[in-house]
Amino acid sequence: MKETHQKIKSFACDLCERNFASRRNVIEHRRIHTNERPYVCDLCGKTFKQKASLFVHNRSHTDNFPFKCSYCDLKFHTKPPLKVHITKHTGEKPFSCDVCGRPFRIKYELKRHKLVHSDEKPYGCDICGMKFKQKRYLRNHRLAHRPNCKKV
């Protein structure tokens, strides 16, 4: 039994050295680096890195909404958006900032908030090089380079 557990992560990604339990997992992981998207939706042409993602996407073309909110009548194709939706009813905010303690309902909101505490500005204007903490600030800035465009 011990020998089996020692071999659990014996397959390494040649691009980042991360280890995986199977060759198939490495192949799927490599798509993060290569952006290969071999799975294509026959109905709309959208492409995916993983077969499971295509399977979940296919539900969007059907009336199959197996995940139902126990608080209201909303239904979802998958469980993750249902879990986020339920926090609207419960008021739960499971993600907290480790700097100031501010709680958030959605992990992405916490990630965006953390930029407040740093000097990081990951969104750069490809025209003038000015950098911004949030994507929406960059979008508004880009309007300055196109005087005939109006904010939507």
C-alpha–C-alpha distance, residues 15 and 83, integer Å: 34
Assigned domain for 15 exists: yes
The model's pTM: 0.53
Query: Per residue in 103-145, pLDDT tens?
Result: 999 999 999 899 889 988 888 998 899 999 888 899 999 888 8
Scanning the structure block, which residue is given the tokens 């993983």?
Answer: 50
- Domain assignment present for residue 54? The answer is yes
| Final residue before a domain boundary, out of 20, 35, 61 | 61
Q: Which tens digits make up the pLDDT trace of 10-65? A: 899 998 888 999 999 999 899 989 989 999 999 999 999 999 999 989 988 988 88
The CATH code of the domain that includes 128 is 3.30.160
**Structural domain tally of the chain?**
2
Residue pair 58/66 in contact (Cβ under 8 Å)? The answer is no
CATH of the domain at 43: 3.30.160.60
25: three-class secondary structure by DSSP: helix
